[in-house]
Structure 1
Amino acid sequence: MGKFVAYIRVSSTGQNLSAQREAVRAAGAEKIFEEKHSGADADRPRLKACLEYVREGDTLIVTKADRIARSSRHLFNLLHGLTEKGVSVRFLDQPQLNTGDKYGRFMLTVLAGVAELERELIRERQAAGIEDAQKRGVKFGRKPKVTEQTAKLVKRLRDEGLSVPEIANQVGLKRSSVYNALKLAEAV
């Protein structure tokens, strides 16, 4: 028989963990990992310690899904990893998500499918938006440091006998950019 382990979290130091602590103790938690840390932060040391601590047969108790995960994707990844490890997860305020029974696992599978569909739809809309913007002439990425005009100036200065470091100082470019400008000037 495994242990009942709990993870509780609040976002800021002004918030209190006592209600969550009481709830997980009432649910049978023997060991509690507590954290006052933003859920948006991927680097939560106590969550990491909790995930490393739990073993096959253990049950991880959490009051709500948003206490442990920062997004649905993150939640599904955590639950998948815990299930692979043989750890069941019990959400006190969301019993339909518990991984300890077949209905909870089914519900999570359905939700994971919906999340995957949503990600694909977002990617499609994003790709369509980018294609539309490109058709309108929108350029993506950084603006090039070396324009055709700059390349012509660099070539003229080089033809006048200035060295690459002197050109770099005068034009305000790095030496590597001066060399790129010289290549561009030859290609134009």
Structure 2
Amino acid sequence: MGELVGYVRVSTTDQRTDLQRAALEELGCVRIFEDQARGTRTDRPELTAALDYLRAGDVLVVWKLDRLGRSLKHLVAVVAELEERGVGFRSVTETIDTTSSTGKLIFHIFASLAQFERELIVDRTKAGLAAARARGSRPGRKPALSSDQVAIVRGMHEAGGHTVAAIANVVGVSRATVYRTIRTS
């Protein structure tokens, strides 16, 4: 069997990792990586280092599932990647251990529920947009340019002699917006 490798995370500077760290040390983690980052942040250098450090046969141990994943989708992706590499996963609080068949089953049930939740969200979003359109609403972001500004952009472009940057400056938008407007003419 490989090594037990721990990962701990706190969300704010006034939180401490003592409880998490003590639990992982008691389990026998040979190395513990520690991040201080909000759950939604994508840049977690110590998580990246921990994932790079792990080898086939090792087990990544966390105090609680929410310490590892930004979301259930992210958590499932990380654990799937670990499984592909032959690395186990263990969560102390939820007593999930993917090195056992029961632990794998429990984790896959979580993954299935997460997939189901994502599909429900997509279905509800589509239904909501359809209902809004039926009421005559135009959901989504407001157009960057008014119809008058679109006319100015198209007129200056067709007249020639104006750079896209100059046109963008006149109507007060980015060059990308001007290019998009010209492309849809």
**Please, which of 171, 174, 177 is the counterpart of residue 173 of structure 1?**
171
Offset at 1:149?
8.4
Offset at 1:42?
1.2
Offset at 1:100?
1.2
Counterpart of 1:112, as a letter, is: A
Stretch of structure 1 that moved more, 108-117 or 125-134: 108-117
Counterpart of 1:72, as a letter, is: L
Q: TM-score, normalised by structure 2?
A: 0.80
Q: TM-score, normalised by structure 1?
A: 0.79
CA distance in 2, matches of 1:130, 1:10: 38
How do 1:24-173 and structure 2 match up within 5 A?
24-95=24-95, 97-139=96-138, 140-147=140-147, 151=151, 172-173=170-171
Offset at 1:108?
1.3
Runs of 4+ with deviation above 4 angstroms: 174-177
% identity of equivalent residues: 35
Offset at 1:13?
1.3
The answer for unaligned runs of 5 or more in structure 1 is none
Computed over aligned residues only, the root mean square deviation of the Cα atoms, in angstroms, reads 3.1
C-alpha change, 1:172 and 1:98, in structure 2 (3 Å) is: same
Alignment deviations for residues 7-57 of structure 1 (CA, whole Å, 9 cap, x no partner): 011111111111111110000001111112212101100000001100000
Equivalent residue number for residue 15 of structure 1 = 15
Offset at 1:142?
3.3
Question: Secondary structure at 2:171's aligned position in 1?
Answer: coil
The answer for unaligned runs of 5 or more in structure 2 is none
